[in-house]
Amino acid sequence: MSISALDLNLLVVLDAVLTERSVARAARRLHVTPSAISNALARLRIALGDPLFTRSGRGIVPTPRAVALAPVLTRALRDLEHAVHGAAFDPATTTREFSLAIADAGQMVRLPRIATLLAAEMPRARLRVIGIDTFLTGGGLASTEVDVAIAVGEKAPGLHLEPLYRERTVLVARHNHPQAGDRVSKSALASLRHVEVQVAPGKGYRALPGAYARLGIARDIALVVPNFSAAAAVVAGTNLVATLPVSLVSRLGPRLGLRSVQSPVPPLTLTINLCWHERTHADPAMVFFRDLIRRAGAAPRTRRTSAAT
């Protein structure tokens, strides 16, 4: 017999009778009448082709088939109860895997602190970190692949954005760039070609076009990349320029041979958000994990270097 043809409520009745060894006590446990228990057992006997219980004196005794079903029923109903109502979340014992999308090297410096807190407070849990480019093309937070993202973020239905920290941006070019010295004029700035960073599918950092438009300059975008680290690498090997977070330039600039360029466009403030979807908003484990990320610290400290003046 296929289980799809079986009324699963009958198994709840069988479990109660097996536990109580009495129709009357099982009826009180399930808040039904003894006749309802007897009717349920009669239907189950027909479905399973077994008497399930026999009378012995004033009580009942389970058949070998019923005895064999008892531990399986108890375990299955307990697991189903936990699945329906949700088992209590215990950080100390959870073995859950948490997935975190991080945009760039500027956010990667937070990982040691996150890992330290995770080991101390959720020692049996596991953290999986993915790049923001995978996050953008893989369905993002609406999928089951990513739980939380640390990114610029864009408002969207079902998406929660919480400012995690803010940092300033700087225009950068490679050392010995033929057109971009330590300072560029408005006309020189208009002649430069840019690397655009895609902070959401099809969208760049939206404050930049407005800042250039106010000066009457339309940025000439030569290349679009998925993150700030990729933009820094491209700038280091070409005559393109890019607007990047100061914290990232201070870390990668000396190694890549980048330097900051003063321009008529004032520094902009970049907001890095903690992002999550409505599907995980109320989940106790995710609430705890998001709080752990918050406690991992605010904006990463930047070193004072000539690359980020």
pLDDT at position 202, please? Answer: 45
| Same domain, yes or no: 171 and 213 | yes
Which domain-ending residue is among 85, 106, 124?
A: 85
Q: Which domain holds residue 229?
A: 88-309
> Beta-carbon neighbour count of residue 168 at 10 Å?
14
The radius of gyration of the chain from alpha carbons, rounded to an integer in Å, stands at 31
Tokens describing residue 152: 């610029």
pLDDT at position 68, please? Answer: 92
User: Which residues 6+ apart lie within 8 Å of 90 measured at CB?
Assistant: none
pLDDT at position 115, please? Answer: 93
- Cα 163 from chain centre: 16
pLDDT at position 78, please? Answer: 80
Tens-binned pLDDT, residue by residue, of the chain (309 aa): 566 677 888 989 999 999 888 999 999 999 999 999 999 999 999 988 999 999 887 788 999 999 999 999 988 888 787 777 666 789 999 999 999 988 765 567 778 899 999 999 999 999 999 876 555 544 566 566 789 988 876 777 888 999 988 889 999 999 999 988 889 999 999 999 999 987 654 445 667 888 899 999 989 999 998 778 889 999 999 999 999 988 889 888 999 999 999 999 988 888 888 989 888 898 999 999 999 999 987 444 444 433 433
Q: For every residue of 145-194, which 3-state class applies, written as one string?
A: CCCEEEECCCCCCCEEEEEEEEEEEEEEEECCCCCCCCECCHHHHHHCEE
| Same domain, yes or no: 38 and 173 | no
CATH of the domain at 53: 1.10.10.10
**What is d(CA 214, CA 189) in angstroms, rounded to the nearest whole number?**
13
Residue holding tokens 């491209």? 234
| Same domain, yes or no: 288 and 175 | yes
pLDDT at position 136, please? Answer: 52
| Same domain, yes or no: 145 and 240 | yes
- Cα 116 from chain centre: 18
How many domains are contained in the chain? Answer: 2
**What is d(CA 202, CA 166) in angstroms, rounded to the nearest whole number?**
23
| Same domain, yes or no: 65 and 128 | no
| Same domain, yes or no: 74 and 93 | no
User: Which residues 6+ apart lie within 8 Å of 269 measured at CB?
Assistant: 166, 167, 168, 169
Which helix (H) or strand (E) covers residue 79, if one does?
helix 64-85
| Same domain, yes or no: 207 and 67 | no
Which domain-ending residue is among 54, 85, 116?
A: 85
pLDDT at position 272, please? Answer: 84
pLDDT at position 309, please? Answer: 35
| Same domain, yes or no: 51 and 173 | no
| Same domain, yes or no: 71 and 103 | no
CATH of the domain at 266: 3.40.190.290
| Same domain, yes or no: 30 and 131 | no
| Same domain, yes or no: 44 and 176 | no
Amino acid at 286: M
Number of alpha carbons in the 13 Å side-chain half-sphere of residue 197: 28
Which domain-ending residue is among 85, 109, 135?
A: 85
Which helix (H) or strand (E) covers residue 90, if one does?
none
Task: Judge whether 209 and 278 are in contact, CB under 8 Å.
Answer: no
SS3 142: helix
